[in-house]
Every structure is written in C-alpha cells, then in structure tokens.
Amino acid sequence: MAVSERDEIEETALPAILVKRSDLPVPLTHRARSFFGGLPRLPPELEWPTAEVRANETLETVALTFVAQIDLVEVPGSGWSPLPNRGTLYFFCSSVFVGEGRPPCRVLYGTAAGDAYPDRAPPSDLMPLAGTDGDAQVKWLDPALDFHSKIEFKYPLSFQVFRDFYFHEDAVGGELMIAELCKALGPGEPRGPDFLQFRMASEYEKDDHWPFNWLLINHVVRSVLSHVVRDLTPRYSYKPLNDEGVAELKRLRAGAIGWLERCRALTPMDDVDADTRAIFRAWWTDVVHTYENVKQYVYTYSSTIASDLGNAINHTIRCMAEQNVEALDEVPLSYLTNFARRNHWKTPTIRDGQYRHFNTALHQMLGYGSGPQDATEQHFEDILLLQMQGDRAFLDWHANIGCTLHFWIDRDALDRLDFAKVVATYECD
C-alpha cells in the first residue's frame, strides 16, 4: 500500500513542549521557578554573562539581556526528553535584533532548583532593551532611572506536551499541526483586533476612560516629550523648521514639562478626576493636531503619537500588575481585557497551519520549532532549547509576532551539559 503524504508527515512526529506564559506580569518577588523576564535566580558561582553588542555605531561590551529562567523539574518529558531531568536553565542574549541573524547569547545551567537562590541584582553595565540608541529602544524610558528600560516584566511559565511535525508550507502538515495545538490548547477564541494597537487619535479623543491614574499621565507626557525634543534637534528634521514650527514645538515642550511637574507632586497610582482627565485629553489632542500641521518638517508622524498612547496604556497596566493584583481594579475593564486577550489562543485558520504562523505567539521547547526563514532547517540536527516568538507582552525589542528567537544546542554538547555551545538565531517575516 502506498504511503500517503499524511503518513509521511506523521512519521516525522516528535514530542515537544509548549511554553505558556501568564496573561499578566507578576511582582518581582513572585516565587515562580520558571518565567520570562524579571531577574534570574543565579547560583553565586555563575556570573551574569557579557558580550560585544552594536546597537547603533558603537561596539560595546555589555551585560546581556536576561530573557528566561526554566526549572527543568517543571518541564514534562520523563523518559524521552534529552534535557537534564533537574537543574535550571538561564537564558541571556543581546536584545539588539536589527541586522542580527545570530545575536550574541549565553545559556547557563545550574544544578539547583529555580527557587534555591535570591534574585541576582542587575549589573551596572546591563544593556538597555534593544541597546543604546537602538531602533527598537523605548526612547522615553531613561536607562539611568527606569528599571524596565533594561529588565523585562516577569511572566510565570507553565508547560504542556504536544506533537510537533516537520513540514514546510504544506497544507496536510498544517492540518496535523492545528489538530495537535487544538488538542493541547482548545479550539481557540474568535479573532479580534488589538483595539489599542491601531486605534486612531480621534477614537482616543472621545474615550473618557483615560487617563485613569497619574502614572499613565507621566508615561504619556514623557513619550510626547521625547518626540518633541528629538524633532527640535536639527539632525532629525527632514528640512529646517520655520520659526512658526519651532515655536509650536517649544509650546508643546513647555506644556509637557508642566504636566510632569504636576505628576511629581502626586502619587502615581492616584485616580484622576473627571475635569483633569478632560483637560489632559484636550492637551494630548492638541499635540496630535500640532504634529499634523508640522508633519513636513519633522520625523514624528501624528499617528505615532496615537500609537505611543496605546503603548503607554499597556506599559502602565504592566507596572500596576507588577505592584499588586489589586491595583488592576482601577484599570478600565476594556483595556485590561484587551491586554490579557493578546495571550489567548485564537482559532487557527488553514493558512496559519500551513505556514506555521499563528495569531498567537507560540513559545516552545524541543521538537522542530518554527520561523519565517530557514533557521529550523539549518539546525535540523540540533536540539531546540527554547523558541520565543515575538510577543506583545514584551517591550518593542521583541513585540513583533512575525519574528522568532531560537536557542539551539548540538546534541553532543547537550549530552556533556556544555551550554557554552548554545547559539541563537533571530528571523522575521
């Protein structure tokens, strides 16, 4: 009997592990043993790794971004997994991905459990997320002041076994993949847009749910101010600003500084009264209209101001969740639901399966992995230690769902527990 294509792909099946994060970040003190972001609980004999990194033009030796800690006791795979059955893996890499197909990385291994040691304090030479002056750096976060300019928020992890298949842009393989993922994750939720990601300024103008505290005002104003200062700097202008344009941007700068002074006098988590909300929204709307009027001279688009507002709302939600779960009671339900929903498994389409590219970020250990280019083919003989797909839980350095970060290790090196041999690949569609 002839072997069908389905049978051929079935024969490639390997057990693999889905890595699922929490919907919301948790306080740094949370006792999770496996997590994305936060601070590593490194044994005292292990040093925070460094590497040479180039974010802009300058090559720097910096401490690498910490991306994940995984306690192997929590990872299923007894009897079949090539991973050690105990101990903890610590994943570090450069968070500068622009122009990097193989970002510098290090994976450390300790024999103790993931909660055996306290959090390691970040070193003074820790690189900013996306690198100093990197294209994906959040420019309004100050590396000298803002903890989360260098440290991602902490998301506890859970693990689930599924069967992975080897195929490339194949409908039958996609059908098998969808069946396995739905078996593990359920049928999925209906798709829907991230309503803060592509929201227009006119929609924000009519939305009286924001600003919901002074921390959000602080984030929005700092974002606006970073653009204004940049656009007043001649090297960032498309052509010289006329006197009227300079005056308008200086007016916005003065207004932003005034709001920051008010923020400093108030508690960040305090509510904002209705009148002040309306006044602030009017100021923000004026910023948008001003940028529309000077668009031919400046680097910043008015649509960027609206996009940054959505990012500031999400960043504020992260900060509130990190402080304590009760703080989230003050967040408008529509914003909070939207934030959490981005992590929920969406009902896949046939095309999603065929191209192994789903509407939800899929993180994975072992199996073949997936990506938009050829990393999985080049590393076919290697072990996939961790796949981190671009996820809007992260800041801009790795928020693009069309991009994938892999950590690979040679089988012989894994047998020797020689994690110095790990290499990273990063690719985007």
| Start-end of H helices in 83-186 | 171-185
Max Cα–Cα distance, the chain, nearest Å? 82
pLDDT at 236: 60
Q: Which residues neighbour 226 within 8 Å (Cβ) at sequence distance 6 or greater?
A: 139, 140
**CA distance between the termini of the chain:** 39
The beta strands (E) that lie in 23-149 are given as 35-36, 50-54, 59-63, 65-71, 88-93, 105-110
pLDDT at 1: 41
Long-range contacts: 348-354, Cβ < 8 Å, 24+? 348/178, 348/181, 348/182, 348/188, 350/171, 350/174, 350/175, 350/178, 351/174, 352/174, 352/178, 353/171, 353/173, 353/174, 353/175, 353/176, 353/177, 353/178, 354/169, 354/170, 354/171, 354/173, 354/174
Q: What pTM does this model have? A: 0.95
Per-residue pLDDT of the chain (429 residues; tens, 9 = 90+): 456 989 999 999 999 999 999 999 999 999 999 999 999 999 999 999 999 998 777 888 999 999 999 999 999 998 899 999 999 999 999 999 876 789 999 999 999 999 999 999 999 999 999 998 888 899 999 999 999 999 999 999 999 999 999 999 999 999 999 999 999 999 999 998 888 888 999 999 999 999 999 999 999 999 999 999 999 987 665 667 888 999 999 999 999 999 999 999 999 999 999 999 999 999 999 999 999 999 988 989 999 999 999 999 999 999 999 998 788 999 999 999 999 999 999 999 999 999 999 999 999 999 999 999 999 999 999 999 999 999 998 999 999 999 999 999 999 999 999 999 999 999 998
Quote the CA–CA distance of 348 and 243 in Å, as a whole number.
Answer: 54
Quote the CA–CA distance of 147 and 29 in Å, as a whole number.
Answer: 15
Identify the DSSP state of 234.
G
Q: Which residues neighbour 326 within 8 Å (Cβ) at sequence distance 6 or greater?
A: none
Query: Which residues does residue 59 pair with via DSSP β-bridges, in sequence order?
Result: 54
Q: Is 396 exposed, middle or buried (0-12, 13-18, 19+ CB in 10 A)?
A: middle
Q: In degrees to the nearest 10, what's the CA dihedral of 376, 377, 379, 384? A: 30
Query: Which residues does residue 404 pair with via DSSP β-bridges, in sequence order?
Result: 389, 427
Identify the DSSP state of 60.
E
